Chain A
Amino acid sequence: MNIVRRLLSNWLPVYAVLYVAFLYLPILLLPIFSINQSAVPQFPLTGYTMKWYAGLPNTPELLSSAWNSLIVGLSASIVSTILGICAARAITRYRFRGQRVASGLIMAPLVLPEIIVAVSMLLVLLQLGVGLSLFTVILGHILICIPYSVTVLISGFEGFDRSLEEASADLGESAWGTFRRVTLPMVAPAIISSLLVSFTISLDEFILAFFLSGTEPTLPVYIWGQLRFAAKLPSVLALGTLLLLASFMMLSIAEILRRRAARRAQNEGGVYA
Chain B
Amino acid sequence: MPETPMIKIDHVTRAYGAFKALDDASLTIQKGEFFSLLGPSGCGKTTLLRMIGGFDNPTSGTIYLDGQAMNGIPANRRPTNMVFQSYAIFPHLNVAQNVAYGLKRLRLDAVEEKRRVEEALGQVSMAHLGKRGATELSGGQRQRVALARALVMRPKVLLLDEPLSALDKKLREQMQVELRKLQQAVGITFILVTHDQYEALAMSDRIAVMFSGNIAQVATPKDIYQRPVNRQVADFVGGMNFVAAEIVGEDSGTITVETTSFGRVKTEKPVQFVTKGKAATLGIRPERLRVLWDDATDKYEIAGKVVDRHYFGEITHLIVEVPGMEQPLSVSETNNFGADDIPVGAPIRLAYDPDALVALAD
Contacts and interface: CB of A to CB of B under 8 A. Distances in A.
A161 B89 CA distance: 10
B81 A163 contact: no
A97 to B, nearest CB: 16
Contacts of B54: 169-170
A128 B77 CA distance: 50
A271 interface: yes
B171 A172 contact: no
A190 B36 CA distance: 41
Contact of B91 (A168, A267, A272): A267
A163 B82 CA distance: 10
B74 interface: yes
B28 interface: no
A35 to B, nearest CB: 45
B107 to A, nearest CB: 12
Contact of B92 (A161, A169, A264, A272): A264
Contacts of A169: 54-55, 74-76
Given A170-B53, A170-B81, A174-B76, A269 B105 contact: no
B82 A167 contact: yes
B75 A166 contact: yes
A173 interface: yes
Nearest to B80: A170
A265 B167 CA distance: 21
Nearest to A173: B76
Contacts of A265: 91
A173 B81 CA distance: 12
A50 to B, nearest CB: 45
B139 A186 contact: no
Given A171-B153, A172-B105, A273 B88 contact: no
A171 B149 contact: yes
A47 B53 CA distance: 76
A174 to B, nearest CB: 6
Nearest to A174: B76
Contacts of B85: 163, 271
A268 interface: yes
Interface residues of A, number: 25
B76 A170 contact: yes
B101 interface: yes
A167 B166 contact: no
A165 to B, nearest CB: 9
A273 B55 contact: no
B168 interface: yes
Interface string B154-186: 000000000000111001000000000000000
Contact of B88 (A161, A177, A267): A161
Nearest to A271: B166
A171 B106 CA distance: 11
A131 interface: no
Contacts of B77: 172
A164 B105 CA distance: 17
Given A173-B76, A264-B92, A163 B171 contact: no
A116 interface: no
A181 to B, nearest CB: 8
Contacts of B166: 271-273
A108 interface: no
A186 B76 contact: no
- Size range of the interface on B? 20 to 34
A182 interface: yes
B98 to A, nearest CB: 9
A185 interface: yes
A171 B100 CA distance: 10
Nearest to B91: A268
A170 B85 CA distance: 14
B88 A167 contact: yes
A182 B104 CA distance: 13
A76 B106 CA distance: 40
B86 interface: yes
A173 B104 CA distance: 9
Query: Which of A167, A170, A265, A269 counts the most chain B CB atoms within 10 A?
Result: A170
A161 B171 CA distance: 24
A185 B92 contact: yes
B105 to A, nearest CB: 5
A268 B135 contact: yes
A272 B75 CA distance: 27
Contacts of A166: 55, 75, 82, 84, 88
A271 B163 CA distance: 11
A271 B74 CA distance: 27
Nearest to B105: A172
Contacts of A170: 53-55, 75-76, 80-82, 150
Interface string A59-71: 0000000000000
Contact of B86 (A161, A168, A174, A177): A161
B361 interface: no
B91 A172 contact: no
Interface of A: 161, 163-164, 166-174, 177, 181-182, 185-186, 264-265, 267-269, 271-273
Given A169-B74, A170-B55, 6 more contacts: A163-B88, A166-B55, A169-B76, A170-B80, A171-B81, A172-B76
24 contacts: A161-B88, A164-B90, A166-B55, A166-B84, A166-B88, A167-B82, A167-B84, A168-B101, A169-B75, A170-B81, A170-B82, A171-B101, A172-B77, A174-B76, A181-B101, A186-B92, A268-B134, A271-B85, A272-B139, A272-B166, A273-B139, A273-B140, A273-B167, A273-B171
